[in-house]
Structure 1
């Protein structure tokens, strides 16, 4: 069972019904990898609106969390605020291979939320737009001594 599973038994096959939820979930595995990710143990806050429609359950929400990264220029550790909206239809029947499904009157939001979060993370995070990075010869942070030169 996923920590992102949400029961929808009160909404299933009742078009027009709606439910709003606020959840705090502690990640059991990281979201993303590479330059930036939301690590396991981090809290993810979800503000959800679930609506019953003829085809299934429409999940609309906002995800808030914190990603960890390194500046791609100077390698300083960074905490990045993650604030992303998502909307996904969880269908009653599979029409396409990549559809999300309502199963056993539950929806599992994990993949939809992971996709939204990972796509919102920067490919090359920086601590600031004017970060000078590291000296290519000795690795010193150029911000500590912008006049730094080698003879």
Structure 2
């Protein structure tokens, strides 16, 4: 049974069939397109990527406790050599959404605890921000194509992984450049 609302985000989930009786529970297993790019500068879940949600929504006295996982492919580039890299990321979610008339709703800030109906539609929870936050924390800020990546040649920009063995450039220390030109003159 589809539990989505007519919201613009596939991460706004309708929980109308979940009883407010503490202990009542529903599960949600669905793959939805990521509504936005989620991640850090060099690595992310791209907008539209398949986001597989395996969630359990349970009524508790103050609201709905959502637990489970979200899994999606990631894409980005190595921080050292700029090679395209991809992978899969699974994040664990544990998020409380407060009922509109609960003590929790009345005594917490909006950014501390989610709110049921915060999307403007009653009986919905919006998982986008909790997932964005978890993805940002889980992805490496400086992703690498491999732990031994040597990056790019500082002189010509060739990726060292694909450069010929012994790749280097003759360079004269600028402090000796003047002396070098004097020696060339003497040789002649």
After superposition, residues 73-92 of structure 1 pair within 5 angstroms as 73-92=80-99
Where 2:135 maps in the other structure, the secondary structure is helix
Indicate the RMSD between aligned Cα atoms, in angstroms.
Answer: 1.3
Mapping 1:1-151, distance limit 5 Å: 1=7, 2-93=9-100, 94=105, 95-97=107-109, 98=111, 99-103=113-117, 104-144=122-162, 145-151=164-170
Count of matched residue positions in the alignment of Structure 1 and Structure 2: 151
CA contact 2:40–2:141 (8 Å) conserved in 1? no
Q: Distance in 1 between matches of 2:166 and 2:98?
A: 60
Higher-Rg structure is 2
Given that residues 20 and 50 in structure 1 are in contact (C-alpha distance below 8 angstroms), is that contact kept between their aligned partners in structure 2? yes
SS in 2 for 1:59: strand
- Does the CA contact (< 8 Å) of 1:28 and 1:40 recur in 2? yes
Tell me: CA distance 1:140–1:13, structure 2 relative to 1, closer, same or farther (3 Å).
same
- 1:16 Cα deviation (Å)? 0.6
**In structure 1, C-alpha distance between the alignment counterparts of 2:25 and 2:48, rounded to whole Å:** 31
Aligned 8 A contact 1:71 1:127 in 2: yes
User: CA separation in 2, counterparts of 1:139 and 1:124?
Assistant: 19
Query: Tell me, which stretches of 5 or more residues in structure 1 are unaligned?
Result: none
SS at match of 2:97: strand
Q: Which whole-Å CA distance do the structure 1 matches of 2:35 and 2:115 have between them?
A: 22
The TM-score normalised by the length of structure 1 is 0.94
CA–CA separation in structure 2 for the residues paired with 1:52 and 1:28? 26
SS in 1 for 2:152: coil
Distance 1:110 1:43 in 2: 14
Higher RCO, 1 or 2 (CA under 8 Å, sep at least 6)?
1
Q: Which has the higher helix share?
A: 2
Could you tell which deviates more after superposition, 32-41 or 82-91? Answer: 32-41
Structure 1's consecutive aligned runs of 4 or more residues displaced over 4 angstroms after TM superposition are: none
